[in-house]
Amino acid sequence: MPRLKKTFLIISQVYVPDPASVGQHIADAAVEMARRGYRVVVYASARGYDNPKQKYPAREVLNGVEVRRLPLSSFGKSSIAVRLLAQWIFLIQAMVRGVFTRGLCGVMVSTSPPFCGVAGVVISVLRGVPLKYWLMDLNPDQMIALGKITERSLMARVFNLFNRWTYRRASDIVVLDRFMGERVQRKLDVAAKTHTMPPWPHEDKLENIPHEENPFRREHALEGKFVVMYSGNHSPANPIRTLLDAAERLQDEPRLVVMCIGGGGGKKEVEEKVAAGVKNIRSLPYQPFDRIRFSLSAADVHVVSVGDDVVGIVHPCKVYGAMAVSRPVLLLGPKPCHVSDLIEQHRIGWHIAHGDVDGAVRTLREALATPAAELAAMGERAAKVISSSLSKRELSGRFCDVLETGLASAGSKGGKLS
């Protein structure tokens, strides 16, 4: 009789081909675990995270990973109540299915959705398998920082109760930077099982495409322009109002284009500037993942925004894509933070504080006046950091080493459903 293959379970509301960054990283880990010989099962939402009208197949195998998409798991982002309802419907379905997954040896959850740790703990306890917890962001910290709830509110206390429960049960916890690790440590002493490693860039899908060869620049009439780009989710956690106000003041600079790509609630302020006739601000939706190398390479400088109150709560993943395509980075946010550490250590960009529009104007003029050779040297230093210590191969390999540590034998308690 053939030996039962160990099954590694991943629960994530978001999974490829959904364009959300968390889904891309979850997929990379899943594919690597499948490559290492595990049967990998992913429970994800059947509909798009940002766009619930987007429907995905209920069952499919992607790069050796068995993806099971659950219904009624995304109703959009119209309100916190709507999002929580969809998240709990998703988690209850995933929890029940996970308990009866055959040959289970371990389970991994992230913070998408925020209460995903609860499902992971239940499955881990009932099946007697290790729980791996990948912290992509921190809640209720994020909701508190953005003023949506108070620290003493019932929701915040329930969140923290579940967080500490998950931290205690998890065999390993992965945080994205030192600031996040410090915040987690203040909640509960889990230093002995906490691993700090940033999410990897998808440099295998990225390359530095020269401007003169880039179809994206031709398509959007960017020849001769100096493009300052913000690409990704526009949210209150990474505001760009200071950049937009500075761009409006610099409409007399004929070369400057501030290109805003992506979606999210914060995109409204970009659209308002465009509707008001600010001619050097342009807005585009998320670009297809197979074309991201063209859009990112179209920039001369990439903007990474970190909200003043979210350091260690939300990790600025955008910085790695910018570095991977050999572009300097303009940090819009507080200091110190993870991005300011990178900029200072490797001399790859500039820093602007939120609200300092005068400083933003000066910095944009400085960037415009920087010789092309110096910009290229900054970009080359950034790309070298990615290839030497922050590559997908290096980081995803280390991450999956953590996932493999202490996995249980296949055939734990439970029946067969998946």
Q: What confidence score (pLDDT) does residue 201 get?
A: 87
**What pLDDT band is residue 76 in, cutting at 50, 70 and 90?**
low
**Average pLDDT for residues 324-344, to the nearest whole number?**
97
**Average pLDDT for residues 362-379, to the nearest whole number?**
98
Q: How far apart are CA 314 and CA 159, in angstroms?
A: 16
Q: What are phi and psi of 114, to 5 degrees?
A: -55, -35
The residues with which 257 forms a beta bridge, in sequence order, are 227
Under 8 Å between Cβ of 36 and 7? no
Under 8 Å between Cβ of 184 and 167? yes
Write b or e for each residue in 154-171: b if 16 or more Cβ atoms lie within 10 A of its Cβ, otherwise e.
Answer: ebbeebbebbeebbebbb
**Average pLDDT for residues 90-98, to the nearest whole number?**
95
**What pLDDT band is residue 5 in, cutting at 50, 70 and 90?**
confident
65-70 and 59-62 beta bridge pairing: antiparallel
Q: What confidence score (pLDDT) does residue 78 get?
A: 55
Q: What confidence score (pLDDT) does residue 74 get?
A: 64
Under 8 Å between Cβ of 396 and 32? yes
- Close Cβ partners of 345 (under 8 Å, ≥ 6 residues apart): none
Torsion of CA 297, 301, 302, 305, to 10 degrees: -170
Q: What confidence score (pLDDT) does residue 408 get?
A: 74
Q: How far apart are CA 335 and CA 42, in angstroms?
A: 38
Lowest mean pLDDT among 85-89, 135-139, 300-304: 85-89
Lowest mean pLDDT among 80-84, 218-222, 318-322, 390-394: 80-84
Under 8 Å between Cβ of 184 and 138? yes
Q: How far apart are CA 259 and CA 295, in angstroms?
A: 10
Question: What count of other Cβ atoms lies within 10 Å of the Cβ of residue 14?
Answer: 25
Q: How far apart are CA 414 and CA 393, in angstroms?
A: 35
The residues with which 123 forms a beta bridge, in sequence order, are none
Q: What confidence score (pLDDT) does residue 79 get?
A: 63
Cut 0.85: pTM above it: yes
**Average pLDDT for residues 30-47, to the nearest whole number?**
96
Amino acid at position 176, single letter: L
Q: What confidence score (pLDDT) does residue 411 get?
A: 47
**What pLDDT band is residue 368 in, cutting at 50, 70 and 90?**
very high
pLDDT over 90 (residue 213):
yes
Q: What confidence score (pLDDT) does residue 49 get?
A: 74
Under 8 Å between Cβ of 179 and 200? no
pLDDT over 90 percentage in the chain: 82
Q: What confidence score (pLDDT) does residue 3 get?
A: 61
| Domains of the chain (ranges, CATH numbers) | 7-200+393-404 (3.40.50.2000), 203-390 (3.40.50.2000)
